[in-house]
Amino acid sequence: MDEDAESRSSVASSAAARTTGYVPVITPGMPDPRGEPDEDPAGEEDAGESDERPGDVAGAGPSGERAARGAGEAAAGSRRRRGPLRNTARKARDFPKLWSRSLLIRAVSFTGVLTLIGTGLVAAFLTQQVTTGLFQEQFSRVEGEATQGLVEIRNTFASAPSGDRTETETLVTNTLDAMQGSESQERREFILVPIDPTENLYASPQHSIDPETIPDELAQTVAEGSGQYWQSVGIERDGETVPGVAFGTQLTLPPGNAYALYFIYDFSSVQESLNFVLRVLLIAGVTILVMNMAIAAWVARSVVSPISQAAEVSERIAAGQLDQRLDVRGRDEIARLGVSFNKMASNLQDQITQLANLSKMQQRFVSDVSHELRTPLTTVRMAAEVLHESRDDFDPVNQRSAELLHHQVERFQALLADLLEMSRFDAGAAELAVSEVDLKQLCSEVLLTAYPLAEQSNTQLSLVVQGEDFIADVDPRRISRILRNLVNNAIEHSESRPVDLIVASSPTAVGVAVRDHGIGMSPAEVSHVFHRFWRADPARARTTGGSGLGLSIATEDTRLHQGALDAWGQKGQGSCFRLVLPRSQEVPYRASPLALPPVYRATDRQYVSEEMIAETGEGHSHDRVTEQALDQPDQSKEDPQ
């Protein structure tokens, strides 16, 4: 016997001998295998519109105006149809952003998905149990009835005397009519067909239902076996296919011909009960889904709303509105969070206010003390200069004391000048006096000014020019102060190695870099180099007597010009400070014209020499007191000595 046929049918010589491990073929929502495909109303509507519009345009007549108007209306209709598609595509593109930003949407979505999964699993389990129970109950009832009827018919035909064709035909008809009309809870149909139609048949095929209802697998199994077999089938009822079960067996009719007899039972009542259960489960699942999503939305909103309010208040506090507070309602955990947040905001406001007042007092104190010290310090310096000019008349001890007094008073005055300048920056009183300046020429002047200091430390100064047109709207006094400070610092830390000043330009900016090849800086030191009074090596002596505020003042001057001042350093390879200035204060620059550190060749250097100083007449001895001053002293005065 075919194994495939064996797997789809069960042998039962009696009701007690049937198998119990079957899987019923009645499935929820079983599709109609012979039904027609559903029509697409939307497709028909679109097709109707597309068929109608060309007709309108073509039927407009010879008038070009009407044709153009019809074409325009068609294009407008096309745009109207594309509009919702564009909106849908835009919303689809924006959904990831909305998903990542909205905790409420994520909570509701996760709740909906989990509810769908849970209700789906429960519904699948209940459907399987209900389907199995209904089918098993109905099958047990009809199987016993079918077995009894088939056995009675087989015995009746087996005990019938061998007669002629008419008697056999009458016996078959009466027997089958009697079986169809027996009392049964379910509707039963029959089919009697010969197994070999070519034999001399006394009884013609009879059926109360379409013989095509019997599957080929069941027919082959009945023809090859002598037992009772069954299989689920589809029965045509009023143009619809309903589930059913067919029982079949083989019997013999005079004069010894083999026939196949089938009983078909309608299981539509089982399918209706199952459909009702599915509708109830669907309604219950949708109700549970909506309720769970509504509950999740309410819970998430009750949690998210205070958090959103706290975020908004935090942003306003960060923007400087220190008096903003949360609106606290209730006494739950969210309310406790709001109370704690308000206490924290109040403490921060008190501390920030206290620190702001303290900072103002400190700035005012430094400014007042600096101004008050200017007059006595000027008097002390005048006296120190008199003693310094008369030092040749003193003995060696007093002569050394006069020199020390002169230099320390000079350093004290430089520190006082730097403090006054920083107080002006802190008070926001610093202003720019902008004019068109050739920064290349300004760099040359700064190098010439720093040449005496470089000569003392045996350091070679050079200028590297990259590009052309170095005109920019700047305050020449402040830029000169920045460059003097950077060059003097480079000389101090170069350890007698070359110091290069590189100037480059771009369409929107001019860049100046000061590069030395001395001791260098580590990345940690670079991050602190612009802090006030910071020193990389506190044990290192200041050869130029600086105050520790030079780079801080340079940073403030750069900020006034809307530029950038950056630093680079590496131990053993030197340091580099890069100043980038926009050509116009009204147009920000796009990119720096110089890399950090800059790249150039040794042959690009233009060295500063004594001959250049003699030609320009701008060289003078280094004076740290006036290094941070905006107005440089007139160096044309002769030394009183």
* 519-536 residue pLDDT tens: 888 888 888 888 877 766
Q: Which residue has the higher pLDDT, 33 or 160?
A: 160
- The Cα–Cα gap between 594 and 153 comes to 108
- The Cα–Cα gap between 641 and 336 comes to 79
- The strand pair at 499-505 and 461-466 is best described as parallel
- The strand pair at 240-253 and 461-466 is best described as unpaired
- The Cα–Cα gap between 381 and 385 comes to 6
Mean pLDDT of 99-107: 79
State residue 640's pLDDT score: 37
Number of domains in the chain: 3
State residue 511's pLDDT score: 92
- Examine residue 637 and state whether it is found in any structural domain, yes or no: no
- Examine residue 72 and state whether it is found in any structural domain, yes or no: no
Asked whether the beta carbons of 447 and 608 are under 8 A apart, the reply is yes
Beta-strand (E) ranges in 148-227? 188-194, 206-207
Residues 410 and 452 reside in one and the same domain: no
Q: Per this entry, what is the length of the chain?
A: 641
- Examine residue 100 and state whether it is found in any structural domain, yes or no: no
What is the residue type of 606? Q
Residues 506 and 568 reside in one and the same domain: yes
Residues 411 and 458 reside in one and the same domain: no
Mean pLDDT of 494-499: 88
Report the CATH number at residue 514: 3.30.565.10
- Examine residue 487 and state whether it is found in any structural domain, yes or no: yes
State residue 83's pLDDT score: 59
Residues 465 and 489 reside in one and the same domain: yes
What is the residue type of 220? Q
Residues 422 and 442 reside in one and the same domain: no
Residue 91 has pLDDT above 60, yes or no: yes
Asked whether the beta carbons of 446 and 454 are under 8 A apart, the reply is no
What is the widest separation between alpha-carbon atoms in the chain? Answer: 169
Report the CATH number at residue 394: 1.10.287.130
Mean pLDDT across the chain, nearest whole number?
Answer: 75
Residue 208 has pLDDT above 70, yes or no: yes
| 376, 396, 429 - which closes a domain | 429
Residues 446 and 575 reside in one and the same domain: yes
| 429, 464, 495 - which closes a domain | 429
For residue 306, is the peptide bond before it cis, meaning its omega torsion is within 30 degrees of 0?
A: no
Residues 422 and 472 reside in one and the same domain: no
- Examine residue 381 and state whether it is found in any structural domain, yes or no: yes
Residue 503 has pLDDT above 90, yes or no: yes
Residue 44 has pLDDT above 50, yes or no: no
Residue 333, classed as helix, strand or coil, is helix
Residue of 404, 501, 401 whose CA lies nearest to 454: 501
Report the CATH number at residue 191: 3.30.450.20
Residue of 490, 497, 595, 598 whose CA lies nearest to 550: 490
Domain residues for the domain of 218 are 149-274
State residue 168's pLDDT score: 76
Banded pLDDT at 53 (limits 50, 70, 90): very low
249, β-bridge pairs: 228, 261
Residue 639 has pLDDT above 80, yes or no: no
Residues 208 and 260 reside in one and the same domain: yes
Banded pLDDT at 500 (limits 50, 70, 90): very high
Angle at CA 499, nearest 5°, toward 493 and 505? 125
Residue 453, classed as helix, strand or coil, is helix
| Phi, psi at 162, each rounded to 5° | -75, 115
Q: At a CB cut-off of 8 Å and minimum separation 6, what does 438 contact?
A: 470, 471
- Examine residue 573 and state whether it is found in any structural domain, yes or no: yes
Angle at CA 235, nearest 5°, toward 229 and 236? 155
Residues 330 and 400 reside in one and the same domain: yes
Angle at CA 245, nearest 5°, toward 241 and 246? 110
Sheet holding 606-607, edge to edge: 564-570, 574-582, 509-516, 499-505, 461-466, 606-607
pLDDT digits (tens, 9 = 90+) for 120-141: 898 888 888 888 888 888 888 8
Asked whether the beta carbons of 417 and 628 are under 8 A apart, the reply is yes
Residue of 475, 366, 453 whose CA lies nearest to 417: 366
- Examine residue 314 and state whether it is found in any structural domain, yes or no: no
Residue 24, classed as helix, strand or coil, is coil
What is the residue type of 599? V
Asked whether the beta carbons of 454 and 492 are under 8 A apart, the reply is no
Residues 390 and 524 reside in one and the same domain: no
**Among 57-66, 181-190, 235-244, which is the least confidently predicted range?**
57-66
- Examine residue 383 and state whether it is found in any structural domain, yes or no: yes
CA dihedral 610, 613, 619, 622 (to 10 degrees): -40
472, β-bridge pairs: 437
Q: Which two tokens stand for residue 579?
A: 């100043």
Residues 522 and 613 reside in one and the same domain: yes
Residues 456 and 385 reside in one and the same domain: no
State residue 515's pLDDT score: 92
Q: Which helix (H) or strand (E) holds 229?
A: strand 228-237
| 429, 450, 479 - which closes a domain | 429
